[in-house]
Chain A
Amino acid sequence: SQQGEEDPQALSIQEGENATMNCSYKTSINNLQWYRQNSGRGLVHLILIRSNEREKHSGRLRVTLDTSKKSSSLLITASRAADTASYFCATAPGGGNKLTFGTGTQLKVEL
């Protein structure tokens, strides 16, 4: 079963707008990661947030983590057409090496 579930499944916005996607998970974690996948390609790591962190920034990305609600959000500010991709959250239940991925949010940024 999927540990992480992203919401929404699909999101369509205009260039320049902000995009927010959410991830919920079920068991305790050491960290939560966000990855991006362009159509037909491998995944690219975006950002990792540890369980003792509440917020982390990287360029136009902002990630929050609420361990009490077992949820995380990824915010992409000032979106660009090149941000069009699928975004996945991933966790390692119990802090092991195995990552469990959610089903992803498909983001489309239109000109």
Chain B
Amino acid sequence: DGGITQSPKYLFRKEGQNVTLSCEQNLNHDAMYWYRQDPGQGLRLIYYSQIVNDFQKGDIAEGYSVSREKKESFPLTVTSAQKNPTAFYLCASSIRGDTQYFGPGTRLTVL
């Protein structure tokens, strides 16, 4: 099956810890994206990557980091510098930037 997967589905973190969220796609898409969604809100772009070994900051990149070493993978690290990390995180991919295909999301809770 082709698709985009995220793991874990639920993640709990203590304050001061870094955590890494996984995003994998086998759609052969060049572009990948990370979004954050807060309750009752739309999506806000954290980082995006249009090609392997290249990525750009989105609207709310502070406190986050990414890497794009492989076309299939775009992991997001939520660092201790992110002041309010509890949120729903969504990963997406696309071919040319038109339609984006989303993963099921990871819900991160900071304890």
Contact = CB atoms under 8 A, between A and B. Distances in A.
Interface residues of A, number: 24
B8 to A, nearest CB: 14
Contacts of B102: 35, 42-44
Given A97-B31, A97-B48, A98-B48, A2 B42 contact: yes
A103 B41 contact: yes
A88 B50 contact: no
B99 interface: yes
Interface of B: 6, 31, 33, 35, 40-45, 48, 50, 58, 88, 90, 92, 94, 96-105, 107
B105 A102 contact: no
Contacts of B105: 40-42
B101 A92 contact: no
B90 A102 contact: no
Given A101-B42, A101-B43, A103-B42, A45 B90 contact: no
Given A41-B105, A97-B50, A98-B58, A33 B99 contact: yes
B58 A88 contact: no
A103 B58 CA distance: 17
A2 to B, nearest CB: 6
Contacts of A43: 43, 90, 92, 100, 102
Contacts of A44: 102
B42 A102 contact: yes
B4 to A, nearest CB: 8
Interface in A73-111: 88, 90, 92, 96-104
Nearest to A89: B42
Given A33-B98, A43-B92, A101-B35, 11 more contacts: A2-B42, A31-B98, A41-B105, A43-B102, A44-B102, A97-B94, A98-B97, A99-B100, A101-B42, A101-B44, A103-B41
Interface in A8-48: 31, 33, 35, 40-45, 48
